[in-house]
Structure 1
Amino acid sequence: MSMNSRGNKSLYKPRQPDFEQKYCTQSYVVGEDDLLYGKILEIYQYKADKLEDTVTVLPDGCFEMVFYFFADHIESHLVIGQSEIEYVPIKECMSGFGIRFIPGWLGHVHNAPLTRTVDIRENLKYISCSEVFKDFDRFYREIVSTGSFERRIEACRSYFGTTERLEDSPSELARQACLYLMNRNGNSSVGELERYLGYSSRYIRKIFDEYVGFSPKTLNEIIRFQYSFYHYYTNPGRSLSDLACEFGYYDLSHMNRSYLKLAKQLPKHLYRKVFLERTV
């Protein structure tokens, strides 16, 4: 791996349109000049009393730290995303705050890898934040003691912004592998990833299990799905056949099969649903 290939650059922009389209949602997408760039993709919060009972979550390969504010208590978890679309109920929670991490970065926190006690809820995997993050109690207090979105963002910068990469470690190898896949829009084979990293497919699968939460093949499929979805989302007049070819699908039929696997619906149906909701 050359030093030039080890950069932080990634234009990965996963979308969660059902969540994004709710007018009360506050969102901060991390920019290149931020201390959090390359670690966190987005920070957000919402009020559940103004949202629908469920939120549709598309697979994006990310982990999220979430805080759920109930009437009588507060919960915090690290949520492991799934490889298929999920419908997550939120009506029991009064409000929420979340941090969406870039795929592959989580291995650099104190108590990785991901071999913790997992709680399964609504097909999503939850891990207690205190089991994963060093000195989490201090960060927890900073988040729950204020309702200010800006102050919570600053707390994230203070807590995560100074975290250094662990060079020459399995966690850094996982981060570099994910960057490789993201920078190629999900159009890479496992064989190409092996040659880039200089390790066997067996070892690469092992570090993905421990630090990423998905196999290389599955993460690749999710990234390609999200890239194609993002480009159609921002330019809905595009031909689906052209989009399929541009993002490495063999043809539109191949793209259809991938969308059915990940989103349980054809591209045109998913796009139609998204854009119908945007105009309501």
Structure 2
Amino acid sequence: MTRAPGQRFKYHPFQPSFKKSLPTYTKFIESTPSLLSEGIQYFGFHLDAGHLDSMFILPDGCLDIVICCYPHQPSANICGSIVRRRKGIFVRPDCDYFAIRFLPGYAERFLKYPVSEFTENEIPLQDVLPHADRLLEAVAAQSSFTERIRAFEAFYTEHYSSKLDTPALVEYLTEKIIGGKGTVPIADLAADTGYSTRYMHKTFERYVGVSPKLFSRIIRFQHVLNALEKPRGAETLDGIMELGYFDQNHFIKEFKEFSAVTPTKYLKRSGLLVD
């Protein structure tokens, strides 16, 4: 169970409702301090009243801390991994939102709770994180996306002395699943690690929030979403076997399970397919 130096698969979760609907949507991939490693991404947006009830989140295997930067009363929720499309719950319109996205496996060391406890839940940050009020005040006091990133990273440096990381087993499994686009058989992963399937599942769920099998399905779904957005993306529907699906019915059923619509309807709503 070894990984060659430098062989790391970058994961860029795709949330079309935000990226395609909000002109203010901003994303920053790399975190600056070495303590934060490669386990965090940031994004921000201004949400007006017209979009308050029309934002939908799709499964991506990540955990987010979403901060409403209302100057006099900032608030934040921990948004655990979801397993089907969900309507975004935002507390205020006409407000800047700043979010810290923990990539799969990295949130447990920050929150100091099993990530599985947050799956399919939204929990106020103040109920979980010591000094949460200080973090919210520091982030909300800033006027730009970059300054909010610096405020969070300063908070992390002040309150956490160790590098944000994840156990070697979890790192290995997430990299194999992401690198294989969700198509690596779970039995092969268990054989590679040398651990029992039970131990592998228990550890993975603690740090990622879902089982390796469900995480693989989510990664495969995310890979399909990205493929559909590329030029001639509609042709992806003709190569479902190469994406790891048994047949077209399997593909449609799983896509609809995660997105609540069929692949064809998704393409039409996104303007990627014309009748």
- The two structures have a TM-score, normalised by structure 1, of 0.82
Deviation at 1:136, TM superposition (A): 4.0
C-alpha contact (below 8 Å) 1:108/1:163 kept by paired residues: no
Q: Secondary structure at the match of 2:182?
A: coil
- Distance in 2, matches of 1:185 and 1:157, equals 30
User: Residues 226-265 of structure 1 correspond to what in structure 2 (within 5 A)?
Assistant: 226-265=222-261
Deviation at 1:189, TM superposition (A): 1.8
- Distance in 2, matches of 1:15 and 1:41, equals 12
C-alpha contact (below 8 Å) 1:55/1:88 kept by paired residues: yes
Q: Deviations over 1:237-265 (max 9, x none)?
A: 44234441332122333211211221122
2:126 is the counterpart of 1:114: no
Runs of 4+ in 1 over 6 A off after TM superposition: none
Report the residue type matching 1:18 in the other structure.
S
| Structural RMSD (CA) | 3.1
- 2:82 is matched with 82
Q: Which moved further from structure 2: 177-186 or 124-133?
A: 124-133
Q: 1:252 to 1:2 in 2, by over 3 A?
A: same
User: Residues 1-280 of structure 1 correspond to what in structure 2 (within 5 A)?
Assistant: 1-4=1-4, 9-31=8-30, 35=34, 38-49=38-49, 51-69=51-69, 73-90=73-90, 92-95=92-95, 96-109=97-110, 111-114=112-115, 124-130=120-126, 132-133=128-129, 135-160=131-156, 163-165=162-164, 171-275=167-271
- Distance in 2, matches of 1:176 and 1:47, equals 37
User: Which structure features the higher share of strand residues?
Assistant: 1
Q: 1:172 to 1:160 in 2, by over 3 A?
A: farther
Q: Which moved further from structure 2: 224-233 or 24-33?
A: 24-33
- Distance in 1, matches of 2:135 and 2:55, equals 27
- Distance in 2, matches of 1:143 and 1:151, equals 8
Deviation at 1:128, TM superposition (A): 3.6
Report the residue type matching 1:22 in the other structure.
S
Structure 1 gaps, min length 5: none
Q: 1:115 to 1:80 in 2, by over 3 A?
A: closer
- Distance in 1, matches of 2:136 and 2:91, equals 23
Percent sequence identity is 23
- The two structures have a TM-score, normalised by structure 2, of 0.83
- Distance in 1, matches of 2:56 and 2:214, equals 20
C-alpha contact (below 8 Å) 1:113/1:210 kept by paired residues: yes
- Distance in 1, matches of 2:59 and 2:66, equals 17
C-alpha contact (below 8 Å) 1:110/1:134 kept by paired residues: no
C-alpha contact (below 8 Å) 2:84/2:257 kept by paired residues: yes
Q: Deviations over 1:114-136 (max 9, x none)?
A: 376x6x9xxx4123434554654
- Distance in 2, matches of 1:110 and 1:29, equals 21
Q: 1:172 to 1:77 in 2, by over 3 A?
A: farther
Q: Secondary structure at the match of 1:44?
A: strand
Q: Secondary structure at the match of 1:100?
A: strand
| Aligned residue pairs, count | 269
